Amino acid sequence: MVELLKIVAVALITVFAHILVKQTKPEIAIFISIAGSVLIIIMAVETLNTVITSFYSIFQTTGVDSSLLTPLFKIIAIGYITEFGANICVDAGASSIADKILFIGKLVILMVALPIITTVIDMVVALL
């Protein structure tokens, strides 16, 4: 809970600084947004470690092949990186580029998900 409050505080400070600087130096405001976003991501790494540990525990408990964790984590990372990049483009006023980033991100997620899809299909076929 305290970690979330810290992250929200950094976000609010970043937004406030962005608004103030945007009025006089709009070209610098985007860098303030990027720096604040990167700081927030760094602060969230501890929470991410907890999530990864939980996934490992779930996979061990259920007996699901742990080799599926790598593509799963890649998919999650691709999703966050794609969203982060697209949001930066939108903030900079380049929403058409943001749309392309989101499209390519979805294609890459589909490509990385193919081993998971194949494994799930094999498991369903084995049950039949």
Q: What is the pLDDT of residues 4-32, one digit of tens each?
A: 888 899 999 999 998 999 889 888 988 99
CB 75 within 8 A of CB 112: yes
At residue 3, the pLDDT reads 81
**Residue 120: C-alpha distances to residues 56, 63, 95, 115, 124 (Å):** 18, 14, 36, 9, 6
Average pLDDT score over residue span 94-101: 94
pLDDT at 123 over 90: no
CB 2 within 8 A of CB 47: no
Is residue 114 exposed (0-12), middle (13-18) or buried (19+ Cβ within 10 Å)?
A: exposed
d(CA 56, CA 110): 22
CB 40 within 8 A of CB 69: no
pLDDT at 83 over 90: yes
pLDDT bracket for residue 62 (50, 70, 90): confident
At residue 116, the pLDDT reads 85
Average pLDDT score over residue span 27-45: 87
d(CA 53, CA 42): 18
The residue among 87, 109, 112 whose CA lies nearest residue 98 is 87
